[in-house]
Structure 1
Amino acid sequence: MSGDQPVSLSPLPPERLFTRCDPHSLPFQSTAELADADDAIGQERAMEAISFAMGMRHRGFNLFALGAEGTGRRSLVMRLLSRQATERPAPGDWVYINDFEQNQRPKALSLPAGRAILLKKDMDWLIGELGQALPAAFEAEEYRNRRQAIEDALKERQEQAFGAIAHDAGKNGVALVRTPVGLALAPMKDTEVLSPEQFKQLPDDQQDRFKTDMAALQEKLEATLKLVPKWERESRASLRALDHDVVAFAIEHLLDELIAKYSDLPAVLTYLTAVAADVAANVTDFLGDDDRSAKVRRSLGGDAFRRYRVNVLVDNDQTQGAPVVYEDYPTQPNLIGRIEHLAQFGALITDFNLIRAGSLHKANGGFLVMDARKLLMNPFAWEDLKRALKVREVRIESPGQSMGILSTFSLEPAPIALDLKVVLIGDPMLYYQLSHHDPEFSELFKVAADFDWRMDRSPQAVLELARSVATLTRKEGLLPLDQGAMARVVEQASRLVEDAEKLSTHMASLADLVREADHWAMQDKVGIIGAGHVQRAIDASIRRQDRVRDNVQEEIRRGIIHVATSGSETGQINALAVLELGNFAFGHPARITARIHAGKGDVIDIEREIDLGGPLHGKGVLILSGFLAARFGETEPLSVSASLVFEQSYGGVDGDSASSAELYVLLSALSGVPIRQDLAVTGSVDQFGRIQAIGGVNEKIEGFFDLCVSRGLSGSQGVLIPASNSAHLMLRADVVEACRQGRFAIYPVEHVDQGIEVLTGVPAGEADENGRYPVGSVNRKIQARLAAFLHRPERLLDRDKKPELD
């Protein structure tokens, strides 16, 4: 460049400020003509990952679907899983049954699909039949006779034994009498029992004879009394054997029916055999010594037969293919199951009938889908899921049991074999954090389905987007969109991703836009959504959220916040920032000032010094310091220091999008050349002075444009943006129209020298082989200023050496 080279950077033409979608390029008159969309658009990579994970039969190939909320992650996953599930057989059922040897450890049985509920019904039928068969059997005359015979035999045996003792005692003049405390021997005379006084009056030789005879009889009596408990045990054993025979006879024909029905399931046959043995072994639990039939009937209505019931944990009778389960509330009990308790007489009791299935049980043999963040927010759920996937079985236990802090009695259900695919849905940051901090995560979730938030804006993609909108309108009963309305939706889809060459895949936002447009079309009582309705929906959405933006603009217009839009100032520039409030973002200008003084080449970032500047902002300041040192400090040290600050900024500042504006204002302060205040600047800068792309370019331009409009467009106002951001422009129609009329301008800048020329109207200048810049250029003025700062100490020293004149 030469010092007198004119500024040659031209503003962008209007057609580059907004990439229009021509309604006539759409191959339909209305979205009602389009077929439904099959899958989520723009997610081919994610779909391939999902299909791969579902097809892998090896361990650990579970899936994590990562992407921004609203990109259709869940709907696509559920749709693809449901499609895959129909091609697989339905998994078997699972039931819990009682372990009659260890009641606290219920057994788990796997049954073919649909057989669990049948087994439950059959066992309920068996219990009901037992309620009829057992009372009938124990009320039968044959049973009563046989029982009476056993009881009579015991009675007769006792009577014979004691009768023999009484007979021997009678022959010796001794009587066998019953007392309140049992049987006793007493002397007799003439068939009369002698009292103790009468006995003492007998001669001594008679007393001795009685004592001798009674001692011998007492031994026989005691020996006989010792046999009585044995005879009673033998009688009770005979009664039990009789009861067992009666029970076996009563249920034999009932069990024969079930055995024939489940002959193909050995585990069920083993269980039925155990039930028969337990009923026979515990018949006394159902029969008492008095009024047996009534007790049997009462027990059947209570808990006596609960241990013979079947607890159906998983029933896949109506399942078509493999199950696809979405767990919306993945707590630990909802995930691995739980054991419920009943309050009875002030205590909590439980049994195997109170075991409840979790999502892992319900999805076993198929697919389980969960939100990753919800899963991690529930205590114990994440660790229990990993343990289940590692050992390939699900074990039901409470957190207290697993941690060893629960001392009360509880069940220990047998674990259930696990064979399923787990799909977690979450945002990318959560996926990367889990990958970094949890070594087990990468072993268990080896497949990532990465959902993109944008796609190329090709004709095919536009048509697929239109088909998705058509599907939405039919599904929710909305009005169809005409060509103009669909074209406006396409343009908004590019605006959402800040790229004129891309389309947003955030279908939630686009769906809301269509729903709101439908509302306004219904207000107008028309049968189709037009472009005006879509634009009205966009404007109304902004209107509901732009209170803060209006307040900021008002404070600038009233002069409370100082931002100039006319004139020129040295060491002052308008930078552009973006403020995000929820789903709404808006741009606003921010005044940056710079002051210089003699120093050692330091650039002081006031924001950073007081801890208001973030790391990215600090990085940007250091980069521009490197640029200044490389350009002006190559042969001589920089003997100047500068300070930078965002004026009237009372919150944190981060990001490097203002680094080019900070460099411009430093160049202005160093050169003394004023900067136009009718221009605003955005863009980052590297150490070579190249201007780099930034985010929020549309909002930033519109923020400064709105301020200029409120003060009156002068025709000279505009914004400097990185040239690489030109492809991202999707500006509002009023901004584009103002540029078309020459009342506003957007300048694409590639290098800081281009920008300083536009901002000052003075060429930046290009160094010659000696490192000198052309006279009159900005860089020559900076060189001169720096040289003055460098030699100022020498001049001051020379001045001090001159003699003072009288």
Structure 2
Amino acid sequence: MRKVGWKDIDLKIALPEDVKSTECIGELEEFIGQERAIRALETGLHIDAKGYNVFVSGTTNTGRRTFVSRYLKKKVEGTKTPGDWIYVYNFDDPRSPNSISLEAGTGKIFQKEMNDFVEIAINSIGESFQSEDYQQKVTSLQNEQSEKRSNMLKELVEKAKEKDYTVQINQTGVATIPIWNGKPLTQEVYEALPEDYQKQITKKGEEVRELVNSYLLKLSKMEKDFGEKYKELNRKVASFAVEGHIREMKDRFSESKEVVEFIESMKKDLLDNLGVFFSQEIDSKAFFGKRYAVNLFVDNSGIEGKPVVEVTNANYSSLFGRIEYVAKMGMLDTDHTMIRPGAIHSSNGGYLVLDAKNVLSEPYVWQTLKQVLFSGLEGIENLEHKIGLLSTVSLKPEPIPLDIKIVMIGEPWIYSMLSTLDTDFKKLFKVKAEFDWEMTIQNDTVDKLCGLMCNIVKANSLRPLEREGIIEVIKRAIFLSGSRKKVSTQFGALEQILLESSAVAEVSGHEMTQADDVSTAWEEMHKRVSLYQDKIKEMFQNSTLMVQTEGELVGEINGLTVIQTEDLSFGIPVKITAKVGPGNSGIVDIQKESELSGHIHNKASLTIQGYMSSKYAQQFPLSLNGSISFEQVYSAVEGDSASVAETVAFLSAVAEVPIKQSIAVTGSINQSGRVQPVGGVQYKIQGFYDLCKIKGFNGQQGVIVPEANSDNVILNDEIIGAVKEGRFNVWTIETVDEAIEILTGMKPGRIGKNGQYSSGSFNRLVVDRLKKFYEIASRTNKRAGKNVD
């Protein structure tokens, strides 16, 4: 047991003498306080094997994303830039565009070359088809064809004439007409002829028609031959027009087998579709321009080293790409030029940083991400097609092989949930990098914090901090950690303090941020979110919440609790009362019986009973009816930090010894009566101090905390001043007996050789009263025929 002096709780920050402001400090290049996470991240990124992706786990404001971003950008310095990816037309299956990988920067060059080629090729071929030489060759072919056709028809007419028939060929077909006496045979003449002549004419007619059919087949073959010769002429002319450009492109991109194959296929396709040049309905430049266009899918020409892509809004299409559509004639249509990449393609060959909560909240993103990582391939399929909401014909682009490391950032509860519920998770994320929320103060900690502040000030163009301002910020970092031996690594909160302090300094007209500016900013940040706390203070002021800060009462004590909201933690005092009498019911926890307590609080209640039995029931059993209650508390009570207060209150009721109401107590006990550390000590002390400030100080008020929480007694300058002036007190204890001595002013007493506590001691009064309860219970039970032993 000891009374804490103000020097023990005053934070002394030892800044180097030469540090007059942040302007005197060099920028911090390293990332402090996360050595464990750094080693884990290095391991995950170094191992080049499937599944060695990294999950960065930590609370918000610990700088997880900033660290990962800076670390990866430094890691990729001097590394080889991965290649570009393009999609091109698939001449064998237009609905399945081909993917091609090229050296970084080559994709953009090839895209331009193809655009230029289409322009040149269309013009060259068009000019060739308009040339005089070409026209002469076409005319020669046509004349040759016309002459052959004319000769063939003349031959047909002559052969038909030998059979007394004439043949007439026109637009509607072929007519065979018999000749009689040098003139076409009419129907009347035919009918007047003898039957034998009619049969002869009919027979010759059949022969002539067979002859005609044979000549028509010859004509058809001749026309086909003409068409082939015409096409071959066009192919030779077009091939001659573009051959030089084709050869030049193939030589330029000869290192890529896929590109050369595409160029060869493109040439064949161009020569197979020369009819487009003679169509009145098709624009040849638009037709071939779209067909031979290169979709520069991933362009790495503008980056150095491996790509680092950070995604905070990872919806399905932004992550896995999409296929766009255009409406044509009331229908949706698409082609290879409308395939768009996602972040997973842009980061291929490098690193992709994702937010775990966002990945899990977006439909089908997590499931698809797992499929991609397991397969090592990324095919592009729109979400509406993937889940069957749209049945339109779509593309099926050739999948791209992935070489990627995923770094996913999330809260610890997300890691725990995924590890428990998804068996695939640890197969894909074999490395966990845990971010600590605090770091131990060592010899260089202050120097590193100063460097960090310098970074933040310069990065945000803030007013420099003067020396005392730096010290004040470091104090806030210690307060946020909750321990005098540590500082918080919630650097996001630290940055907020600096930003708002600089704003206060600007309003105040200070060229540099002073300690008062930091204090004002801190108070304003607190005030913005302290409505609930202020309402509770108002209830104390109006005595709506009844907690005394002076006088003495039997079986009543001031406990301390912590309220946590989304933005704020603060302590409030609460009255704990205990009542006791003879009986056999034992100690009843009213909160538990009312179902207003949690499991830890219930365990603490049983611990108190164990302590009572071990200390006071060695010569006779406990025979009492007791109750303990948190007054004016109507929500669930959880935790064991009030077990010291509950124990002292109950013992006060048993011994009928009053407790000083000017003192509040917090601490947990074990069954041996040792006081154990609890959380939120700085908030609890502040809470009781604020109540005493409302009620008025009398010099006797203070708070008892566990000795094990000495390092957690981090108080603001106002409370430290009150301790220094003797208006407020802080005690630390290690046992329940020490708390009893402070709260009652009585010596707790020790057991003598006779097995009895010393006469006049607090514990002797407890034992004597319990013995009376036992005797009363024994007489009562004897009359009722019961045995209490």
**What secondary structure, in the 3-state scheme, does the structure 2 residue paired with 1:439 have?**
coil
User: 2:683 aligns to what?
Assistant: 699
| 2:369 pairs with 1:377 | no
Q: Residues 575 and 681 of structure 1 are in contact (CA less than 8 Å); yes or no, is this contact kept in structure 2? A: yes
User: 2:657 aligns to what?
Assistant: 673
**What secondary structure, in the 3-state scheme, does the structure 2 residue paired with 1:534 have?**
helix
Deviates more, 1:127-136 or 1:759-768: 759-768
Correspondences of 1:249-398 after superposition (within 5 Å): 249-284=240-275, 286-288=276-278, 292=279, 298-301=283-286, 303-398=287-382
Which residue identity is paired with 2:662? D
Distance 1:602 1:800 in 2: 19
Deviates more, 1:159-168 or 1:713-722: 159-168
Deviates more, 1:573-582 or 1:209-218: 209-218
Distance 2:233 2:784 in 1: 133
Distance 1:132 1:633 in 2: 109
Q: 1:634 to 1:190 in 2, by over 3 A?
A: farther
User: 1:101 aligns to what?
Assistant: 92
Correspondences of 1:212-227 after superposition (within 5 Å): 212-227=203-218
Q: Residues 89 and 292 of structure 2 are in contact (CA less than 8 Å); yes or no, is this contact kept in structure 1? A: yes
Which deviations, in whole Å up to 9, do the C-alpha atoms of 1:493-549 show, x marking residues without a partner? 111111112112211112221222212222222222221211121222222222222
| 2:416 pairs with 1:432 | yes
Distance 2:75 2:619 in 1: 70
| 2:480 pairs with 1:492 | no
Distance 1:655 1:544 in 2: 28
User: 1:772 aligns to what?
Assistant: 756
Give 1:551's match in structure 2, choosing from 535, 538, 544.
Answer: 535
User: 2:11 aligns to what?
Assistant: 19
| 2:707 pairs with 1:761 | no
TM-score (norm 1): 0.92
Q: Residues 494 and 502 of structure 1 are in contact (CA less than 8 Å); yes or no, is this contact kept in structure 2? A: yes
Aligned-residue offset at 1:391? 2.9
Q: 1:576 to 1:798 in 2, by over 3 A?
A: closer
**What secondary structure, in the 3-state scheme, does the structure 1 residue paired with 2:92 have?**
coil
Identity %: 32
Distance 1:800 1:287 in 2: 119
Distance 1:337 1:169 in 2: 71
Distance 1:69 1:358 in 2: 27
Distance 1:455 1:654 in 2: 28
**What secondary structure, in the 3-state scheme, does the structure 1 residue paired with 2:61 have?**
coil
Which deviations, in whole Å up to 9, do the C-alpha atoms of 1:190-210 show, x marking residues without a partner? 554333234223344443332
Q: How many residues align?
A: 785
Aligned-residue offset at 1:171? 4.1
Q: 1:182 to 1:753 in 2, by over 3 A?
A: same
Q: Residues 26 and 483 of structure 1 are in contact (CA less than 8 Å); yes or no, is this contact kept in structure 2? A: no
Which deviations, in whole Å up to 9, do the C-alpha atoms of 1:598-625 show, x marking residues without a partner? 4445433332333321222222222222
Distance 1:730 1:188 in 2: 129
Higher relative contact order (CA 8 A, sep 6+): 1
Q: 1:800 to 1:224 in 2, by over 3 A?
A: closer
User: 1:622 aligns to what?
Assistant: 606
| 2:431 pairs with 1:447 | yes
Distance 2:664 2:670 in 1: 19
Q: Residues 584 and 777 of structure 2 are in contact (CA less than 8 Å); yes or no, is this contact kept in structure 1? A: no
| 2:170 pairs with 1:188 | no
**What secondary structure, in the 3-state scheme, does the structure 1 residue paired with 2:3 have?**
coil
Q: 1:605 to 1:151 in 2, by over 3 A?
A: farther
Q: Residues 571 and 688 of structure 2 are in contact (CA less than 8 Å); yes or no, is this contact kept in structure 1? A: yes
| 2:668 pairs with 1:684 | yes
Aligned-residue offset at 1:799? 6.9
Q: Residues 2 and 733 of structure 2 are in contact (CA less than 8 Å); yes or no, is this contact kept in structure 1? A: no
Q: Residues 68 and 451 of structure 1 are in contact (CA less than 8 Å); yes or no, is this contact kept in structure 2? A: yes
Correspondences of 1:504-519 after superposition (within 5 Å): 504-519=488-503
Distance 1:339 1:300 in 2: 24
Deviates more, 1:399-408 or 1:199-208: 399-408
Aligned-residue offset at 1:345? 1.7
Q: 1:305 to 1:797 in 2, by over 3 A?
A: closer
User: 2:546 aligns to what?
Assistant: 562
Give 1:202's match in structure 2, choosing from 177, 181, 193.
Answer: 193
Give 1:168's match in structure 2, choosing from 159, 162, 168.
Answer: 159
User: 2:504 aligns to what?
Assistant: 520
Deviates more, 1:528-537 or 1:609-618: 609-618
Q: Residues 80 and 305 of structure 2 are in contact (CA less than 8 Å); yes or no, is this contact kept in structure 1? A: yes
Distance 1:473 1:179 in 2: 95
| 2:45 pairs with 1:54 | yes
Q: 1:799 to 1:279 in 2, by over 3 A?
A: closer
User: 1:142 aligns to what?
Assistant: 133
Give 1:71's match in structure 2, choosing from 62, 83, 99.
Answer: 62
Q: 1:521 to 1:323 in 2, by over 3 A?
A: same
Deviates more, 1:519-528 or 1:126-135: 519-528
Which residue identity is paired with 1:388? V
Which residue identity is paired with 1:137? S
| 2:118 pairs with 1:127 | yes
| 2:690 pairs with 1:709 | no
User: 1:6 aligns to what?
Assistant: none
Which deviations, in whole Å up to 9, do the C-alpha atoms of 1:16-37 show, x marking residues without a partner? 22323256x5431111011111
Aligned-residue offset at 1:58? 3.2
Gaps of 5+ in 1: 1-8, 802-806
Deviates more, 1:751-760 or 1:385-394: 385-394
Q: Residues 582 and 777 of structure 2 are in contact (CA less than 8 Å); yes or no, is this contact kept in structure 1? A: no
Q: 1:800 to 1:268 in 2, by over 3 A?
A: closer
Which residue identity is paired with 2:673? G
Gaps of 5+ in 2: none
Distance 1:202 1:390 in 2: 92
Distance 1:229 1:652 in 2: 98
User: 1:244 aligns to what?
Assistant: 235
Q: 1:188 to 1:617 in 2, by over 3 A?
A: same
Q: 1:50 to 1:783 in 2, by over 3 A?
A: same
Aligned-residue offset at 1:589? 0.8
Which deviations, in whole Å up to 9, do the C-alpha atoms of 1:762-783 show, x marking residues without a partner? 2222233554323333333332
Deviates more, 1:669-678 or 1:499-508: 669-678
Aligned-residue offset at 1:687? 1.7
Distance 1:400 1:524 in 2: 57
| 2:493 pairs with 1:501 | no
TM-score (norm 2): 0.94
RMSD between aligned alpha carbons? 2.4
Give 2:567's match in structure 1, choosing from 575, 579, 583.
Answer: 583
Which residue identity is paired with 2:191? K
Give 1:31's match in structure 2, choosing from 2, 8, 22.
Answer: 22
Distance 2:761 2:744 in 1: 10
Distance 1:244 1:435 in 2: 64
Q: Residues 571 and 675 of structure 1 are in contact (CA less than 8 Å); yes or no, is this contact kept in structure 2? A: yes
**What secondary structure, in the 3-state scheme, does the structure 1 residue paired with 2:327 have?**
strand
Give 1:571's match in structure 2, choosing from 545, 555, 576.
Answer: 555
